[in-house]
């Protein structure tokens, strides 16, 4: 894949991106095999890999190549699962900074501060507490979506795509959970792209979409906390307007693969077409996400399990089928401003499938 430079923007007509937020790698990462010694299992042909015996705390002590290999695997498989992790929120933050940096995040990108994070949080600004008790009080994305639909699939989203510089990786550790229920599903944006006809692929590759989370203003008021308007992990992510424009088809710099980059939670409008056309296109793309269970993986959590996923090229959806408390800690690192490179390939074409 060509390097992302001023010259390449002109030469390859890259859609999107921002000169102050470009990846520092010039070619996709190549897996070197450092994690081959761990027992592992691909959960579906398309998405998801589970490792056994691999501890994040140990990875923090190892050399850079092992972390790069986990970064490459997370991007290629979409999401990796690590059971029974003995890792603190501080170690989670340290690991995510290292993972994102070694995977080529821009020098201006750090860990995200969610607009709804309380000032002076005990765990720090960069930790988002995922809590069913908080949801019951009416906070966050799921509450807003539940006002308009009773379908569980309404919750499919990628994290913080309303930011100018959204997340590359996210890590979630669940430490409190009900006896049963509360599974999380992920789906592959690579696979969604590959299921489009060549004509539709080409059409969407020239379009952008508006991602909007200004409903968080109402959530902040309801929760009694001021919205975080300062720098939220990148100089491009600040201010009160929680809205961004991104390519509909995005290139992942770590794999060099194309992915559909829309989600039900935040994508409100495809630009350059009429609203009626936008509604039809988004409805079709959302249906590809929700109705293709063979492009999804469903994970049943045990206490202290961790998931690390690629927010560039996956969507995820929690399952609210429980009444007991469920809680965990999430850290999201920031990548590059999304762009589309016409020289990139789809996953199946790149792998010769």
pLDDT on residue 132: 56
Res 191: pLDDT: 98
Domains defined for the chain, CATH in brackets: 6-343 (3.60.130.10)
Question: 3-state secondary structure string, the chain?
Answer: CCCCCHHHHHHHCCEECCCCCCCCCCCCCCCCCCCCCCEEEECCCCCCEEEECCCHHHHCCCCHHHHHHHHHHHHHHCEEEECCCCCCHHHHHHHHHHHHHHCCCCCCCCECCCCCCCCCCCCCCCCEEEEHHHHHCCCCHHHHHHCCCCCHHHHCECCCCCCCCCEEEEEEEEEECCCCCCCEEEEEHHHHHHCCCHHHHHHHHCCEEEEECCCHHHHHHHHCCCCCCCCCCCCCCCCCCCEEEEECEEECCCCCEEEECCCCCCEEEECCCCHHHHHHHHHHHHHHHHHCHHHEEEECCCCCEEEEEECCCEEEEECCCCCCCCEEEEEEEECCCCEECCCCECHHHHHCC
Residue with tokens 């992920």: 186
- Rounded Cα distance between 328 and 131, Å, is 7
Give pLDDT tens digits along the chain (353 positions).
333 333 333 334 578 899 989 999 999 999 999 999 999 999 999 999 999 999 999 999 999 999 999 999 999 999 999 999 999 999 999 999 999 999 999 999 999 999 998 776 666 788 777 765 565 555 555 545 555 567 888 899 999 999 999 999 999 999 999 999 999 999 999 999 999 999 999 999 999 999 999 999 998 888 888 999 999 999 999 999 999 999 999 999 999 999 999 999 999 999 999 999 999 999 999 999 999 999 999 999 999 999 999 999 999 999 999 888 888 999 999 999 999 999 999 999 999 98
Strands 128-131 and 327-334: antiparallel
């Amino acid at each position: 894949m060509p390097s992302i430079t001023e010259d390449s923007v002109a030469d390859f007509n890259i859609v999107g991106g921002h000169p102050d937020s470009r990846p520092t790698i010039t070619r996709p990462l190549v897996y070197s095999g450092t994690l081959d010694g761990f027992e592992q299992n691909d959960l579906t042909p398309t998405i998801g890999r589970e490792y056994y015996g691999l501890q994040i705390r140990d990875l923090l002590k190892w050399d850079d190549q092992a972390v790069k290999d986990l970064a490459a695997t997370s991007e290629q498989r979409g999401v990796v699962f690590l059971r029974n992790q003995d890792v603190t929120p501080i170690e989670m933050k340290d690991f995510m900074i290292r993972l994102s940096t070694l995977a080529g995040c821009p020098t201006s990108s750090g860990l995200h501060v969610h607009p709804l994070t309380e000032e002076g949080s005990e765990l720090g600004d960069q930790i988002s507490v995922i809590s069913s008790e908080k949801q019951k009080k009416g906070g966050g994305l799921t509450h807003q979506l539940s006002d308009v639909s009773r379908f569980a699939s309404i919750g499919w989203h990628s994290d913080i795509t309303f930011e100018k510089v959204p997340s590359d990786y996210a890590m979630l550790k669940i430490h409190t959970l009900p006896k049963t229920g509360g599974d999380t599903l992920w789906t592959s944006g690579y696979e969604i792209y590959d299921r489009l006809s060549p004509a539709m692929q080409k059409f969407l590759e020239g379009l952008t979409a508006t991602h909007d989370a200004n409903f968080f203003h109402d959530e902040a008021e309801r929760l009694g906390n001021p919205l975080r308007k300062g720098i939220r992990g990148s100089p491009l992510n600040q201010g009160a307007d929680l809205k961004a424009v991104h390519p509909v088809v995005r290139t992942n710099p770590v794999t060099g693969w194309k992915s559909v980059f829309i989600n039900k939670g935040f994508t409100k409008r495809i630009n350059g077409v009429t609203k009626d056309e936008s509604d039809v296109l988004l409805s079709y793309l959302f249906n590809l996400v929700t109705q293709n269970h063979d492009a999804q993986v469903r994970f049943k959590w045990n206490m202290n399990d961790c998931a690390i996923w690629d927010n560039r090229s996956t969507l995820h959806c929690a399952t609210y089928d429980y009444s007991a408390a469920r809680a965990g800690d999430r850290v999201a690192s920031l990548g590059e401003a999304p762009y589309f490179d016409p020289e990139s390939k789809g996953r199946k074409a790149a792998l010769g499938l």
